[in-house]
Structure 1
Amino acid sequence: MTTMHVIILSLIQGLTEFLPISSSAHLILPSQLLGWTDQGEVFDVTVHLGTLLAVVIYFYKDVFGLLKAWFGSLTGKKATPQSRLAWMIILATIPAVLVGALCSDLIESYARSAKVIAVTTIVFGLLLGWVDIKAPQRQDEYNMGWKHALYVGIAQVLAMIPGTSRSGITMTAARQLGYTREASARFSFLLSIPVILGAGSLLAVQVAQSPITVPWHQLGLGLVVSFVSALACIHYFMRWVTQVGMIPFVIYRILLGIVLALVVF
């Protein structure tokens, strides 16, 4: 990859990982539409690490509080809103882990195409917009019970299909259940931590076992760019989402899907 490709792909990862517009779709599109060389798993691991660092640092007080409360619940301390939320995040992560272990190769073989992305970008974008307009905003993430957590977790499984958007589908599910936009976004972002950590660790093991040359200068640049762009993205999204809602992202998804459909169909 050239330096320009590294910067662009890192920006794509950082800006789209937490927006409801699908980072996996945007990372696939340059190779599908522009003929760029696939960036490879090593680069994917690195930029995902950048976004993971960004969300952990932005929510460091929440992450520390959740971990402390969760470990406290294991030692018999009284349940708190934070410990319950930590357990809900764990529960919501389980469906993606199970389905990912069983079906990731199948999805990788048949779903990574621009045609699939064009359809899912539009369909799940319209669903996000409809739910955001119709659903009430009456609960925060600390009120989430196991049924709601499991529902959001099952919805997250759909994000394995490129174009769906992990953050988009989890926010859609949470909004459908009556959680506020801010609560839906916060739960989605916190839920991303075990998901990115697990997927990144698995890819890292695969990379470590393969005899490939590691371009350290490109990886370092990718890590920094993805971290900075993801941190800025989270900051501004959390400020904007309560004011403008999801409609700007819905419009972007529909326009992107239409352009892709015109190109690939």
Structure 2
Amino acid sequence: MPLFQLILIALIQGITEFLPISSSGHLILLPGLTGLNDQGQLIDVAVHVGTLGAVIVYFWSDVRSALAGLGRLLRGRVDTPGARLALGLVIATIPVVIVGAFLHLTGIDESLRSVAVIGWTMLIFGLVLYWADQRGAEHKTASDWTWGDALKMGLWQAVSLIPGTSRSGITITGARQMGYNREDAARLAMLMSIPTIFASAVLLGADVVKEANYGAVHDAALAALFAFGSALLALTLMMRLLRSVSFTPYVIYRVILGVVLLVYAYS
């Protein structure tokens, strides 16, 4: 694969994975609107691994706490903040794994990869994010995350399997609707991405590992590296901006892109 296309794919994935504007939607649109060859599942897995590394590095203190808590959770003890966080992440991941496996095994996921679908989801869920962000209270923080809230956010996250919805966007929407402040809503959404991206990478990786060759692995490694760098930068900027800026700029982008895509799809 040409280096330019490889870098472009990695940058798109890295920048859009954690911004509420849908990385999967942009990656599907890239070959459809530019005429470039589809990057294939191996590169998809690689850029997901790169963004996974970025969120682990950025939220390392939370990740370390959850990993320590996971050990206690496996022993049936939920008596520390880390154990409660680990349990919340497990609960939040179950819906997207079940729905994702169903869509993948039935082939429904492929039928959703269209410009029209992405246009509608960009527009509709952008407006839903705006509504939740503007109307949602800010009386909850990440320390208030209950198992019930984790399940609700997990159900919201399962909706993100529709291309163009945005995994981070829909989980932030759910958190803001439940009253979490902007920064902690994004923090919980990012932490939820770790097991979700890992599960996605395992699912996709199982389909391509037997077909990989040295050249493909080399391309995948480069893609992962570029995706890691761009994702870490995008995540850092977004979390800093949330201290003073709402999600409205992302909503405006989603609405404009959604309208453009719908005009393109139905013209």
Q: Scaled by the length of structure 1, what TM-score is found?
A: 0.95
Q: Cα 1:89–1:3, aligned 2, differ >3 Å: closer, same or farther?
A: same
Give the CA deviation at 1:76.
5.7
CA-CA distance at 1:233 after TM superposition: 0.9
1: CA distance, partners of 2:85 / 2:64:
13
Q: Matches of 2:95 and 2:109 in 1, distance apart?
A: 18
Change (3 A) 1:254 1:76: closer
The CA deviation string for residues 23-48 of structure 1, in whole angstroms up to 9 with x for no partner, is 00000111111121100011111111
3-state SS in 1 of match to 2:244: helix
- The residue correspondences of 1:113-132 to structure 2 (distance < 5 A) are 113-132=114-133
| 1:198 aligned onto 2:206 | no
Q: CA RMSD in A?
A: 1.5
| Matched residue, 2:51 | 51
Q: Which residue of 1 aligns with 2:210?
A: 209
Within-5 A mapping of 1:59-98: 59-75=59-75, 79-98=79-98
Instruction: Determine the structure 2 residue equivalent to 1:100.
Output: 100
Q: Deviations over 1:156-214 (max 9, x none)?
A: 11111000000000000010000111111111111101011111012222111336664
Flag structure 2 segments of 5+ consecutive residues without an equivalent: none
The answer to whether residue 189 in structure 2 is matched with residue 176 in structure 1 is no
What's the CA shift for 1:102? 1.5
* 1:70 Cα offset (Å): 2.7
Q: In 2, Cα distance between the equivalents of 1:10 and 1:36?
A: 14
Match of 1:153 in 2: 154
- Matched letter for residue 222 of structure 2: L
Query: What SS does the aligned partner of 2:160 have?
Result: helix
Who is 1:248 aligned against? Answer: 249
1:137 aligned counterpart, secondary structure: coil
CA contact (8 A) 1:96 1:156 kept: yes
Are the equivalent residues in 2 in contact too, given 1:12–1:26 (CA < 8 A)? Answer: yes
* Aligned twin of 1:7: 7
The alignment covers a number of residue pairs equal to: 265
Q: What's 1:163 paired with? A: 164
In structure 2, the partner of 1:144 is 145
| Mean Cα deviation higher: 209-218 or 243-252 | 209-218
Taking structure 1 as reference, are residues 149 and 34 closer, same or farther at Cα in structure 2, changes over 3 Å only?
A: same
1:23 matched to 2:23? The reply is yes
Contact 2:92 2:151 in 1 (8 A): yes
4+ residue runs over 6 A deviation: none
Is the Cα–Cα contact under 8 Å of residues 93 and 191 in structure 1 kept in the other structure? yes
Deviations 1:100-138 (A, max 9, x none): 111224432321000100000000000000110011001
Q: Could you tell which deviates more after superposition, 235-244 or 169-178?
A: 235-244
Residue 54 of structure 2 aligns with an amino acid whose one-letter code is A
- SS of corresponding position for 1:244: coil
The C-alpha deviation readout for 1:72-122, integer Å capped at 9, x for no partner, is: 244465612232121111101000111111122443232100010000000
SS at match of 1:18: coil
Which ranges in structure 1 are unaligned for 5 or more consecutive residues?
none
> For the residues of structure 2 that align with 1:211 and 1:2, how far apart are their CA atoms?
17
What are the superposed Cα offsets for residues 49-84 of structure 1, whole Å, 9 maximum, x if unpaired? Answer: 110111111111110111112312444656122321
